[in-house]
Amino acid sequence: MFSRTLNQTHQLSKSLGTFVAGEVKGVPSKKSLVARTMSSQATYEFETLKVTSPEEYVKHVELNRPKKLNAMNTAFWNDMIDCFRKLAVDPECRVVILSGAGRMFTAGMDYKDNEALRTALSDKEVSRKAVALNQSLLHMQTSYTVLETCNKPVIAAIHNACIGGGIDMASATDIRYCTSDAWFQIKEIDIGLAADLGTLQRFPKIIGNDSLCRELVYTARKFTPEEAKHMGFISRIFPDKDAMMAASIELAKTIASKSPVAVQGSKVNLVYSRDHTVQEGLDYMVTWNSAMLQSEDTAKAVMGMMAKETPIFSKL
Ligand SMILES: CCC/C=C/C=C/C(=O)SCCNC(=O)CCNC(=O)[C@H](O)C(C)(C)COP(=O)(O)OP(=O)(O)OC[C@H]1O[C@@H](n2cnc3c(N)ncnc32)[C@H](O)[C@@H]1OP(=O)(O)O
């Protein structure tokens, strides 16, 4: 497979031209890149989220209601959908870091400010309540599913509390880091409901331990960073938030330096394969790469490797 790729690369390199100073001819000119950058600059202004760009191609989305411990309120559900749908199509974004401002990552669903739920449950006939609740819950689920349908990898950087909706949300991200003072709680049982925003669907597949998952869901007991790491929910623990954010940015920079075609294709196929049989996943992969193996990124990556130079990939 590798030698076939090299042969194809050789053919491609002929048509693409010679490898010049770490770049390949055929890359859009500086002028056209500037034009594209100007036209693709998205605005990210939200009531409950703060969006910054700590590095090229890296976006940092901060849950930004620190006084309310980033509890998820009416505006939050809309903001998440708007924000991640923009990030999904923004060529300036290749990877996202998701963290919380202030004392804690998140205290979960806002008990006081959730307009759609309040209206849905207000005085009306029972089937009308059910329809309204159905719509609200679907909307809330979408607020986390956008983390998955956005093809750019999302790194959750979790400090202190990650409660209820926080677990739903983190379970829809790609990579999770946390601080040593983090604590986790699938809290919904304690407020008389079955978790309904993705924890029961995604969390068990992440940790791969059905017995432990049920224990945590049925008891709502808090679990520690060490336990979270041992079960595979968290990949790294840091002594404090600064160290975690620095490592998250380094990780994001590394991912952003890779071919966006390859990274985003990998995410799409990992998510697809999680939800399908091995054969269905393999079939989908073949279809995907029948298009994507023709990418200039494949030629650039292989040529860069052979020339011991770092390839620079065009915006996607
Ligand atoms: C049904 C629809 C689907 C959605 C499902 C989602 C479910 C869930 O998320 S279940 C989990 C819900 N969250 C909780 O039960 C946590 C509640 N909060 C706490 O237990 C404590 O606040 C906490 C242990 C996190 C921190 O305690 P601490 O003493 O350090 O701070 P507080 O003084 O309690 O809080 C500071 C201010 O934040 C406000 N706040 C905290 N959590 C919430 C919340 N969930 N909703 C709304 N507001 C919250 C708290 O009221 C304080 O504000 P203020 O009084 O204005 O100072």
- Each residue's pLDDT tens digit, 218-260: 999 999 999 999 999 999 999 999 999 999 999 999 999 999 9
Token pair of 203, please?
């969390």
The pTM of the full predicted model, rounded to 2 decimals, is 0.89
Q: Which of 176, 113, 177, 109 is nearest to 141 (CA)?
A: 109
Token pair of 40, please?
């693709």
pLDDT class for 40, splitting at 50, 70, 90? low
Q: Which of 95, 231, 241, 111 is nearest to 165 (CA)?
A: 111
Cα of 95 vs centre of ligand 1, distance in Å, is 29
In this structure, the residue with its CA closest to atom 28 of ligand 1 is 69
What average pLDDT does range 143-150 have in this prediction?
98
Atom of ligand 1 nearest to the CA of 104: 25
Neighbour tally for 3: CB within 10 Å: 7
ipTM associated with this complex: 0.99
196 lines ligand 1 (CB under 6 A): yes
- As a CATH number, domain 40-258 is 3.90.226.10
174 lines ligand 1 (CB under 6 A): no
Cα of 110 vs centre of ligand 1, distance in Å, is 7
